[in-house]
Amino acid sequence: MNSEFRIQNSESQTLAFVALGGNLGDAQATVRDAIERLATLACSPVRSSSLWRSTPVDCPAGSPDFINAVVAFAPLPRFTPETLLVELQTFEREFGRVPKKVINEARPLDLDLLTWGGEVRNTPTLTLPHPRAHLRRFVLQPLSELAPDLVLPRQTRTVTELLTDLPLGEVLERVR
């Protein structure tokens, strides 16, 4: 496993991986701003993947392309997975996201908690690891830049191996 991105870092702090995406407004600027904002929740430097442009997956017809990234950081000690999720949802609203009217509709910012260390949770408000992370190229490609050898909880294969086996239907292009 990549020594910089173990599930637990060298100081036994839990490492969280968060996926970012958006497809309304200036999505590149929004995702970059959100990455900076996530640093306020971290007690370690926030590591970020490149930004990736992806075609919409399971979205209404005519949806614009998304800008996606993944970040990794050790959350401040005051956070639990549930309280970090609440903070991520607060950030989404502050960046202009409104409650869903249509499933997977266009949005300025979407933040998904992918993993919290090796935690496995299945509650009404939080599922860890994210239930579809291992199936989405727009998650796995940026995640592979940060942690190619990471094995997500409930999986037996590395991020790189999962990415290699995905169908080629989803189109991604690095934008920075």
Domain CATH for 103: 3.30.70.560
Least confidently predicted of 4-18, 31-45, 61-75: 4-18
Amino acid at 176: R
pLDDT, position 8 = 44
Structure tokens given for 103:
């499933």
What is the reported pLDDT for 162?
A: 97
105 belongs to a structural domain: yes
Classify residue 104: in a domain, yes or no.
yes
Q: What is the reported pLDDT for 57?
A: 81
Q: Is residue 175 part of a domain?
A: no
- 28 assigned to some structural domain: yes
Question: 139, 123 in Cβ contact below 8 A?
Answer: no
Which of these is catalytic: 32, 37, 97, 121?
A: 97
Half-sphere exposure of 166 (CA within 13 A, CB side): 21
Cα dihedral 130, 135, 136, 140 in deg (nearest 10): 80
| Helix, strand, coil share of the chain (percent; to 5) | 25, 25, 50
- Dist. CA 26–CA 24, nearest whole Å: 7
Residue 107 resides in a domain: yes
Distances (CA, A) of 50 to 28, 66, 130: 11, 13, 20
**Confidence band of 24 (pLDDT split at 50, 70, 90):** very high
Residue 71 maps to a domain = yes
Q: Among this protein's residues, is 53 annotated catalytic?
A: no
Please indicate whether residue 112 is annotated as part of the active site: yes
The pair of structure tokens assigned to 14 is 């839990």
Question: pLDDT above 70 covers what percent of the chain?
Answer: 90
pLDDT in tens, 75-129: 999 999 999 999 999 999 999 887 766 666 778 999 999 999 999 999 999 999 9
Question: pLDDT tens, 145-159?
Answer: 999 999 999 999 999
Name the active-site residue from 47, 112, 136, 137.
Answer: 112
- Confirm whether 65 is a catalytic residue: no
What is the count of structural domains for the chain? 1
Is 11 domain-assigned?
Answer: no
Q: What is the pTM of this model?
A: 0.91
For residues 128 and 118, give the distance between their C-alpha atoms in angstroms, rounded to a whole number. Answer: 9
- Active-site residue flag, 97: yes
Q: Which of 47, 107, 136, 137 is catalytic?
A: 107
Range of the domain at 104: 16-167
pLDDT of residue 6: 46
Question: Which of 112, 114, 104, 117 lies closest to 8 in space, CA to CA?
Answer: 117
pLDDT average, residue stretch 119-142 = 96
The active-site residue, picked from 47, 110, 136, 137, is 110
pLDDT over threshold 50, residue 1: no
Q: Does residue 110 belong to any structural domain of this protein?
A: yes
